[in-house]
Amino acid sequence: MSDVNLSGADLAAAMPDDVLISVRNLKKYFPITAGWLRKEVGTVKAIDDVSLDIRKGETFGLVGESGSGKSTVARLMLRAYTLTDGSILFRRDSGEVVDISSLNERQMREMRREMQMIFQDPYSSLNPRMNLLELVGEPLVIHGVGSQSEIRDRVADLLKVVGLRPEFLLRYPHAFSGGQRQRIGIARALALNPSFIAADEAVSALDVSVAAQNINLLQDLQEQFGLTYLFITHDLGMVEHIADRIGVMYLGRLMEIANTGDLFARPLHPYTEALMASVPQPDPRGNRTRKRVPLKGEIANPANPPTGCTFHPRCPYAQERCRTDVPALREVAAGRQVRCHFAGELDLTGVAA
């Protein structure tokens, strides 16, 4: 069945037992070309030195603004992009640990039974010419799982699981609302019983009331099937609600990793503080009294990132050293990693619990 045999005892040993997926020093550089010869004139460091562990059964939230590279990380983890450098260790259902960064396309296809993705835009991610049976059943057909009637039964089951009526089997995506289409995408992702799902802005395009329904669905499914999520979003309220741990990205780098409660109670990176302060709260009195100094400027051009700490031009606490020295992501407390020279020395404000 599986010809993925790259795992060795050394790989498994490199990964603590409770970790499902371990990313080390992930890099993705895109070439910048110019002229009609498309000569390479530079590189965009879309992802630079990202390392993170996602534990079995947890929801790891990845937050950041557009251009921070959060979606690219997910795509690299599922090998939708080839990585420039780094390793991605994944613990299979069988217990075997595999470095997916070195797999070929055929081996990777086998892996995708266990790793799936849910996309933001339920309008463009579903083929309008396929009905629900074909859409949700496609992964089963590709992996040759079951006969036609078995697939039909499985798809009907999956629709029920995500809260859609099994009678909808032969309908096409256009007949469904945005929230329902998102559910179709979720059913499709669940078809092969994956252990890991990356959800890229999965509820960002939905209306408030529908987003809440789908978030609850994702949490129910996690409980029911023991799923592990990578939850990518720019919505801090949502990520606080759903995630166990959170990584904050800025310009292709992780700036901070912490347990959700710790992060919101006391951010240790100035960018995390700025993000939290920027979110307008559904609390008019609080907004009036809260000190909210908008962050200056805009995210830098990744083709020409600032020297030293990439956040320094916008950082209200920046010192001379930040302009010259690149800070490392370092562990400052148990389970807390921060990429700031002054982590722990600054008095940063979170949001009151």
Partner 1 sequence: MLKMNPQLSMPAERLLDLDDVKVHLPTREGVVKAVNGVSYHVDRGEVLGIVGESGSGKSITARAIMRLLPRNAREEGGHIQFRPRTGELHDLSALGRDSRAVRQIRGQHIGMIFQEPMTALSPVHSIGDQIIRTIQLHMRLDRHAARRRAADLLSKVGMPRPEQMLDNYPHQLSGGMRQRAMIALAISCDPSLLIADEPTTALDVTTEAQILELLKHLQAELGMAIVFITHNFGVVADIADRVAVMYLGRIVETASVDDIFYAPKHPYTRALLNSIPRLGVDQGRRLPTIPGMVPDPYSVPTGCSFHPRCGYSVAGTCDVRAPEQHIFPNGQAARCHFAEQLAEADAHV
| β 228-233/245-250 pair status | unpaired
CB-wise, 166 or 350, nearer to partner 1? 350
- At closest approach, how far in Å is the CB of 9 from partner 1? 38
In DSSP terms, which residues pair with 98 in a beta bridge?
90
Q: What is the SS3 assignment for 100?
A: helix
- At closest approach, how far in Å is the CB of 315 from partner 1? 12
CB-wise, 25 or 287, nearer to partner 1? 287
- At closest approach, how far in Å is the CB of 263 from partner 1? 11
Letter string b/e over residues 67-83, b meaning 16 or more CB atoms within 10 A of that residue's CB? bbbbbbbbbbbbbebeb
CA proximity to 251, closest of 314, 325, 200: 314
CB-wise, 93 or 298, nearer to partner 1? 298
- At closest approach, how far in Å is the CB of 22 from partner 1? 27
Could you please report the per-residue DSSP string of 234-298? S-HHHHHHH-SEEEEEETTEEEEEEEHHHHHHS--SHHHHHHHHHSPPS-HHHHHHS---PPPS-
CB-wise, 305 or 350, nearer to partner 1? 350
- At closest approach, how far in Å is the CB of 160 from partner 1? 18
Residue 148 identity (one-letter amino acid): Q
Summarize as ranges the residues that interact with partner 1 (CB under 8 A): 65-66, 177, 179-180, 207-213, 215-216, 219, 234, 236-238, 240-241, 264, 274-285, 287, 292, 294-295, 298-299, 350-353
CB-wise, 148 or 216, nearer to partner 1? 216
